[in-house]
Amino acid sequence: MNNSVNYSKKLSAKFLLKEKLIKYFFALNGFVAVLFILLIFGFLINTGFEGFNHINLSDYFFSKSNINGISQYNFEWYPTSENSRFSIIPLLAGTLLTAIPAVLISTLIGIIIGIYLAEAASPRTRELLKPIIEIFAGVPTVVIGFFMLVVGATILNDLFFPVNRLNAFLASLGLSFIVIPIIASLTEDSISAVPRELRMASYALGANRWQTIIKVVLPASVRGISAAVILGFGRAIGETMIVLMASGNAAVITVDVFRSVRSMTATIAAELGEVSQSSPHYFALFFIGLFLFSLTFILNLIAEIFLSKMRKKLGN
């Protein structure tokens, strides 16, 4: 009897030791991940702010020129010209002109897919479709960019006759391929998290399936869906290869989606390898990186707030 008791104690001690080791292992990984993010952020802050010794803060947004005694504000990105201009406004406009249409397209398609997977699809269909959708999120973006450059540009040119063959809309379509899986997957998770009791109560009051989805399930999961859209927007803003290959890379301010534009990420990728270290151009690129990092961090933070509020609401 005593031997069995001692044996069980040894087993429980080993189990507790393994549990603690696993716990500390994951805690260490989490700490290292946070540490790396803080180090990257610190490096961007240090290098970006060092640029203020060479470029005024206002020059990152506009520059002044005097033509025939008339002062004009210029919003131009010409970092290598004799009279260098470092305005990030054309790059920000290009980023938004590719990201916003991509999110609008992805939101419509992603929410429909999420509703279908959570409410209408059979278990077998769900098991088949969900991995296929999530595979799209793992496709190398350079492959999508190449596809849009070779195939998508030709189809778009034949259908819409755009001003520029490579343009913001073409890049938006490419971005949709990576944003749709994010929105669809998170929408499906948010809808599935709605308590079954809410659905049963709606059916008991005489509502049919689609009335229940539209008037009960979607309002209950709206915070989770909003978080999915915000995360998708952050993903679209931070994407590099698709916009670098498909947007045309013209640093101009326009609202025409069929014109070439240039995003912040594409500018960093295209120019950082050629720039002279410690030059004003070098520091301007790091300022763009700092601005981009801060923007995506804020979007992710807002999405996390929405998700935490949804968990509390559904938990209560």
What number does CATH give the domain 85-315?
1.10.3720.10
Distance CA 222, CA 162 (A): 36
**Higher per-residue pLDDT: 315 or 226:** 226
Quick check: pTM over 0.95?
no
Summarised one tens digit per residue, pLDDT across range 154-175 is 999 988 888 889 999 999 999 9
pLDDT (tens digit per residue) in 47-94: 888 888 888 888 888 877 766 666 677 888 888 877 888 888 999 999
Q: For all residues of the chain together, what is the average pLDDT?
A: 85
Residue extents of the structural domains in the chain: 2-53, 85-315
pLDDT, residue 258, reads: 93
Using the predicted structure, report yes or no on whether residue 2 has a pLDDT greater than 60.
no
Residue 260's CB is within 10 A of a number of other CB atoms, namely 23
Average pLDDT over residues 288-316: 79
